[in-house]
Amino acid sequence: MTNHEKKPCLLCKFDCDVYRQAKHLWTEYVCKNCGDFIVSDSVDKNSYKLLAGMYYFLLHNAPREKRYFFVDDESKFKDDDGAVYIGLKTLENIYPRDFSQRIDMILLNLATIFCEIGQYFGYGEKLLKTANDSVIRLAFFVDKDDSNDCFTEVNGVFSLLSQMGYLSPLTRQNAIIKEYSISAIGWLRIQELQAKGAAISQGFIAMWFDPQMDTAKAKILSAIHDSGYVPMIISDKEHNNQIVPEILFEIKRSAFLVADLTGHRNGVYYEAGYAHALKKEVILTCREKDFEDRHFDVSQKNIIIWKDEAELHEKLMKRIEATVGKNL
């Protein structure tokens, strides 16, 4: 039996449809603002960093027609019901690591909120500075429990963005609450970040999606996670070996591509070639017993040859950090 209620969204706090199925340990939120997403009971819903990671992922990386399932470890799950599984390591890797990255991510958040979901604020092209608004807290990565501390930091972030020239304060006579708009400098910086595909530092995975490759898939995911990047992998079962625009889009916005040649699937070679044409870093891997059958076009490439999945993880991590760099 499925229980259905109208309750506040876990992220934006606006009322949405919430489903709870007795036999499953998860809650599904169908929110007009955040989309359709599921959160496993194993995920700490009080962790503000995880919630901010969820919000950022849904805002920038999530086509609305899909369902996203936030779990403790996505490698335990298979995409059998059309859901895309996102693990805690991915959420942790999304969270900004330093001041510069945080500022850039805040700007990207504000741009998306302005362009797509401005109804949060109701001021058209104006941002209302509201310290208690859940959306602002998530968009600004404000990790504070005390409301006074939250108010202080939100005010500080608005002031800082204004000092940097990214926001313009809007004055109103006798106004107690200040309003801001994104300045011309702010929009130029946002467009620069969007052109670089800088919303999320991700690595795209092209590989053979066969049950015998499940362990290898988990190790590739782990190697990308452990190098500080967000892995992006799309099952080939929905597109029947045709390269759909979504795959090309994700490759274009990725920092690098890992192509495992095991099984020598044509789609894997195609995706690797597309990434190479975009001047992305392409890392090739192959199971030892499949190596002799590699295609001629890549025979001169420095391919990571692996005998077992543990070796794949170790070698891939070293190659990512040596060629792309560890995302600290």
| Per-residue pLDDT reduced to its tens digit, 258-293 | 999 999 999 899 999 999 999 899 999 999 999 988
The average pLDDT across 24-43 equals 88
72 or 278, greater pLDDT:
278
Per-residue confidence at 122, pLDDT binned at 50, 70, 90? very low
Per-residue confidence at 172, pLDDT binned at 50, 70, 90? low
SS (H, E, C) the chain: CEEEEEEECCCCCCEEEEEEECCCCEEEEEECCCEEEEEECCCCCCCHHHHHHHHHHHHHHCCCCCEEEECCCHHHCCCCCCEEEECHHHHHHHCCCCHHHHHHHHHHHHHHHHHHCHHHCCCCCCEECCCCCHHHHHHHCCCCCCHHHHHHHHHHHHHHHHHCCCEEEECCCCCCCCEEEECHHHHHHHHHHHHCCCCCCEEEEECCCCHHHHHHHHHHHHHHHHCCCEEEECCCCCCCCCCCHHHHHHHHCCCEEEEECCCCCHHHHHHHHHHHHCCCEEEEEEEHHHHHHCCHHHCCCCCEEECCHHHHHHHHHHHHHHHCCCCC
Judge whether residue 117 has pLDDT over 50. Answer: no
Q: Decide if domain 201-328 falls under CATH 3.40.50.450.
A: yes
Average pLDDT of the chain to the nearest whole number = 82
99-195 in CATH: which number?
A: 1.10.10
What is the pLDDT at residue 84? 72
The average pLDDT across 241-254 equals 75
Judge whether residue 304 has pLDDT over 90. Answer: yes
What is the pLDDT at residue 80? 47
Judge whether residue 327 has pLDDT over 70. Answer: yes
What is the pLDDT at residue 128? 55
> Could you state, in order of their start, the residue ranges of all structural domains in the chain?
1-91, 99-195, 201-328
The average pLDDT across 119-133 equals 49
Least confident of 78-82, 159-163, 181-185, 237-241: 237-241
What is the pLDDT at residue 62? 59
